[in-house]
Chains A and B, each alone.
Chain A
């Protein structure tokens, strides 16, 4: 890196360039816009040089891959050692329908499973609940019981493949069903690998799939940490998510800040429970969005790793290097996909996936081009998977570690994002912490404001969305529809009837009573009781009803 004499010389040459070559060029050809902005409306300068690296020594800012602060990556060899996991989010209709989609994806080369659940399941309702009307299987798979879980993973070796389950408020119940299913197949819990999203804080902030109020929900999350540490040591009991925060309208800086603030809140609660930070921190995982602005996204991942490593080591006193690692899944930005000229979405997804890989993600989901209409059909999802395979095997970007490290622009952006995150950390602290900020609506309002600003930029044509406000064609896109069949719904309802009729009523009732008592006892861990209820054939809705009664239901603050 340049020392101060070199920097002076660089500066002098730069000024000369500005006064001569640049000046003349601008006279002949002015720039296209007054200001150039990232997707997050952050101003971007014309040129970045060594002067922008602000004299910070590379050892402090960058480090080596696999070493603190992990800016360049969490492994020394990154994708040279192992490619990222190609983990395609999938789910629709019944467990049977989705089991078929899993097998399809595995046959086409995906290396990890990711389960999408339908709305009723996400909110802790069985398919036959009144709240579930019209919502069966439309945006994910319906799992109301242990039996559904068995069908979902039929012919799949859960001892070998890792499974991520995107579910939050009732994550503990769904996890218990997965564990119960594995157990019944003779797979020891210690062998199971996977993730439950289980990140309730971002639900209040962005995705809104909550059930109970914050405090009991946090207790349930820490129950899973505690249980996982002891019984399912290879499982990531949480995926601290920025994806949804971003989709709800946040900027890259807000996504980074709110996600890490949430992460630190979970760590605090774990420590308050009495868990040693090094016992559960290595199993905290993350999930970030991969949005349009290539460099801003890459910078975001690098800043995330650096901030997390520092906070874990210096603020929380973690001693185990594995506690400092920010391991992240990434998903390309759903909200950026258009209904107009949908095939063009393939291009968007590719650029976004490129950002995630250049940014060092551990696993990746790429969206399908028909997402603006429906849950993806087979053709569309195959192209999305192939996108990852092209990046892995044909583009060359996996051949070296952190190829863009050292770019003046990238390093400056990384620093900027880090600074923005710390400003938000301070603000949240002033407001009394993450949960207080949620109650006051601060985080939600910041997100809604960014969403509104972004939309206004599109309306005013300050921001071009190809096919939407420019390069528009008047054509009807041809998208092959994917429908949930009435037969699948009937099958699901019949199965539920049979389960309720055939189970041992005494055992079932005892298990729910035990769960209720555990919920009311703040010192009890709910997981063993949830497992017991699941094994006794209690359904998701029945278990969640017990919890709804014990904990109450959350009401969100009013804001636009």
Chain B
């Protein structure tokens, strides 16, 4: 099994150098390279990775229509006014029928994109279940390496997006809005446990007191942090300084409490295991192990071997077979 990262071509090394110097076109090209799983994607990521770890990753989750995009736009401006550089990765669903997508989150942020201290990238989920694309956090790392102070990630807002983003972002912001009418909102189980900050948006459009009270009642302190509930308005110029403050405070909390390291550790463990799992699954499907895997499967059905022992044998044969650098697998098993 190879122990060193694959060598990158001159072109890719050039792009990475430009990226580190803050060049937007290089950033865009590298994101595409990785997203498209080009042959040099792993090499590029390996070159970029040492330069990451500085930026604050903030994920935004919430139902479609709740106003995430325009909220993020205003937050970007607020952070810019505070002298921070901000990247945004906005994810929209790929159509399961055509494989295409219309990525419209950028509409909300049109003027903001031309600010030199801002970079906005739209991504389609490309078949990945949940609210993110597989390459989303790779793109986040590209922007981290580029020098962004914060990278905001906007999810699709459906399915398992809360869980995915909570496991990858430093700070998870859950955006809610009051229902028109007076029904008390039923919260999705789990959403009350993963948010670091809760936002009640469009607070100028309807009475939010019930929703806020409900949230306050149900949200509990976690790891020493009590998630604040911030109200924001739907107006284009609505203030978001309270939200920006909360995000900044959470970062400070993570740093001072040791939670940053703890979560990084958790994340690293998770990511290595996830990558290993994907690698194994791809090899098993594609490589000569394929036939070996089939043999194991047959043995299991015939009750000659139990599934656990079969897995042990698979790993052993994996470990002992010499292979060149694998392509980083794109699809989940």
Contacts and interface: CB of A to CB of B under 8 A. Distances in A.
**Touching chains A and B, CB distance < 8 Å:** yes
A213 B69 CA distance: 18
Given A432-B180, A436-B180, A558 B235 contact: no
Nearest to B64: A558
Contacts of A560: 102, 104
A552 B180 contact: no
Contact of B108 (A213, A439, A552, A558): A558
Contacts of B81: none
Contacts of A439: 205
A424 to B, nearest CB: 19
A25 interface: no
A552 B238 CA distance: 10
Contacts of B180: 432, 436
A123 to B, nearest CB: 16
A149 B276 CA distance: 73
B81 to A, nearest CB: 18
A436 B69 CA distance: 19
A462 B38 CA distance: 42
Interface in B215-270: 235-237
Contacts, number: 22
A553 interface: yes
B100 to A, nearest CB: 12
A432 B179 CA distance: 12
A555 interface: yes
B69 A558 contact: yes
Interface residues of B, number: 13
A560 B100 CA distance: 14
Contacts of B108: 555, 558
Contacts of A432: 180
Contacts of A213: 235
Interface string A397-418: 0000000000000000000000
A554 B70 CA distance: 12
Contacts of B104: 558-560
Interface in A514-560: 552-555, 557-560
A553 B102 contact: no
B105 interface: yes
Interface of A: prevailing SS: loop
B69 A552 contact: no
Interface residues of A, number: 13
B107 interface: yes
Contacts of A558: 69, 104-105, 107-108
A533 to B, nearest CB: 24
A559 B105 CA distance: 10
Contact of A553 (B65, B69, B205, B236): B236
A436 B202 CA distance: 13
Nearest to B105: A558
A552 B102 contact: no
Interface string A171-213: 0000000000000000000000000000000000000000001
Interface string B165-187: 00000000000000010000000
Given A432-B180, A436-B180, A560-B102, A552 B107 contact: no
Nearest to B73: A555
B188 to A, nearest CB: 21
Contacts of B105: 558
Nearest to B205: A439
A560 B65 CA distance: 14
A552 B235 CA distance: 8
Interface in B56-80: 65, 69-70
Contacts of A557: 65
A436 B70 CA distance: 18
Contacts of A554: 236
Contacts of A553: 236
A440 B181 CA distance: 14
Contact of A552 (B65, B205, B236): B236
A439 B180 CA distance: 12
A109 B10 CA distance: 74
B155 to A, nearest CB: 15
A429 to B, nearest CB: 13
B70 A552 contact: no
Nearest to A560: B102
Contacts of A555: 70, 108, 236
Nearest to A554: B236
Interface in A48-81: none
Interface string A416-455: 0000000000000000100010011000000000000000
Given A439-B205, A558-B104, 17 more contacts: A213-B235, A432-B180, A436-B180, A552-B235, A552-B236, A552-B237, A554-B236, A555-B70, A555-B108, A555-B236, A557-B65, A558-B69, A558-B107, A558-B108, A559-B104, A560-B102, A560-B104
Interface of A: 213, 432, 436, 439-440, 552-555, 557-560
22 contacts: A213-B235, A432-B180, A436-B180, A439-B205, A440-B65, A552-B235, A552-B236, A552-B237, A553-B236, A554-B236, A555-B70, A555-B108, A555-B236, A557-B65, A558-B69, A558-B104, A558-B105, A558-B107, A558-B108, A559-B104, A560-B102, A560-B104
In the A-B complex, the 10 residue pairs with the smallest Cβ-Cβ separation, listed nearest first, are A558-B104, A555-B236, A560-B102, A558-B107, A432-B180, A553-B236, A552-B236, A552-B235, A552-B237, A555-B70
